[in-house]
Amino acid sequence: MTVTPAPAVPSGLASARLGGRAGRTREQPPTGVSRTAGYWFVALYVGLLLLLGIAPAAYAIYLAFAAHTGGGFASAFHAAFTDYRFWPAFGHVLEFMALWLVSQSVLVVGLVLMLHSMAQRVGAVFRFLFYIPGALAGAASVIVWLFMLDPQASPFALILHWFGYAQFNNTIAPGNLPAIFAIMAFWTGAGGWIVVMYGALNNVPHELIEAAQIDGANPFQTAFRIKLPLIRKWVVYMLVLSFAGGTQLFVEPTVLAPAAQGIGITKYWSPNQLAWFVASEYNQYNEAAVISVVLLALGLVIAGFLVWRGRLFGAD
């Protein structure tokens, strides 16, 4: 899953600034500073925010609640929730996320701690190498992994044969899809998080680690008892953000579909695909809007939670 091509923005944490020095009193500009100039500076951005952020969300909510051909107030919700494709789509994505989030958390943390214990220059080379696949986020990474999963051409053919896959169709069997998407998501996204967490670790005072070593901590103890607790909130941040992004899965199953004809991957494998499917094939915009609103609400709750927590983080 390609959450964003520019990964890992450790921003929620810095939002502590919001609470700021001025406290909760209404803003009083220093003398000589205009009270209205600020509006001009933010005007274009606010216009875009209203037109492309607030308006579409509001319109989707409106459509979700607008009467569904003859039905009542919440009939589009009823139609969506009883759609036989609705729950399987969420089920697929949940399965994908379970695999992805667990493996990503363990592996990213493990790799970061490992790279951080190496010489600075050597670590930098690996960090860069792991980061490069991020440039292929989107359709490109899916195609790359189609090649990697094709036992006939793949450089990893040996491993695929171990698993008993001799044909491309064996590898991309429906039951394997959540794992395959998890691998793609990890491949493009992990490097960005490694870079970010490494940066966070570099903020750990060197004396702290030295003190632990003088006290006789071995590298493992230093890594797990000192460093890990200090980047814990980054791990939480990564998990929460990845969870929000993961629910949106769209590119991978869509790009994979033409390559997997007859294997059983439908055009509504994930919720976003289903929303697009009912909108584009059946013009059921109300039902599509319901699915969007559910996904939007998930994203909003998670983002709101992080921003709110960001303030709490600022307190320590």
Partner 1 sequence: MAIPRRYAVRFVGLVVLLFFTAFFGVPIAWLFLASTKTDGQLLHSTPLAFGSLSTFAHTFHRIITYSGDSLLIWLKNSAIYSFGGTALAILAAIPAGYGLALTHFIGRRTLLSITLIVMIMPATALVLPLFLEMNKLGLYGTVWSLILPFGFFPFGVYLAYIYFSSTIPKDLLAAARIDGASEWGVFRYIALPLARPVVGLVGFFAFVASWNNFFLPFVMTYDNSQYPVQIGLQQLIGSTATFNPADYTAGASVEVLRRPDLAMGVLIAVAPVLIVFLFAQRTLVSGMLAGATKE
List 35, 121, 229, 315, residue binding partner 1 (CB under 8 A): 35
The yes or no reply on residue 254 touching partner 1 (CB under 8 A) is yes
Q: Min. distance of Cβ 152 from partner 1 in angstroms?
A: 6
Looking at 70-78, 84-92, 94-102, 125-133, which segment touches partner 1 (CB under 8 A)?
125-133
Q: Min. distance of Cβ 169 from partner 1 in angstroms?
A: 9
Residues whose CB is less than 8 angstroms from the CB of residue 174 and which lie 6 or more positions away in sequence, other chains included: 263, 264, 265
The yes or no reply on residue 236 touching partner 1 (CB under 8 A) is no
Binding string to partner 1 for residues 62 to 101, with x set by CB under 8 A, is what?
-x--------------------------------------
The yes or no reply on residue 230 touching partner 1 (CB under 8 A) is no
Alpha carbons within 13 A on the beta-carbon side of 121: 0
List 76, 100, 276, 287, residue binding partner 1 (CB under 8 A): 276
List 94, 102, 129, 208, residue binding partner 1 (CB under 8 A): 129
Closest CA to 7 of 114, 121, 132, 145: 132
CA torsion, points 5, 8, 13, 18, in degrees to nearest 10? -10
Q: Min. distance of Cβ 155 from partner 1 in angstroms?
A: 4
- Helices (DSSP H) in the chain: which residue ranges? 11-14, 16-19, 37-49, 55-65, 75-81, 86-116, 120-131, 139-148, 157-162, 168-171, 177-202, 206-214, 219-221, 228-230, 232-246, 251-256, 271-282, 285-315
The yes or no reply on residue 106 touching partner 1 (CB under 8 A) is no
Q: Is 100 exposed, middle or buried (0-12, 13-18, 19+ CB in 10 A)?
A: buried
The yes or no reply on residue 53 touching partner 1 (CB under 8 A) is yes
**Do the Cβ atoms of 94 and 298 come closer than 8 Å?**
no
The yes or no reply on residue 282 touching partner 1 (CB under 8 A) is no
Return the residues of window 171-210 that contact partner 1 according to CB under 8 A: 187, 190-192, 195-196, 199-200, 203
List 42, 94, 102, 211, residue binding partner 1 (CB under 8 A): 42
Return the residues of window 144-163 that contact partner 1 according to CB under 8 A: 144-148, 150, 152-157
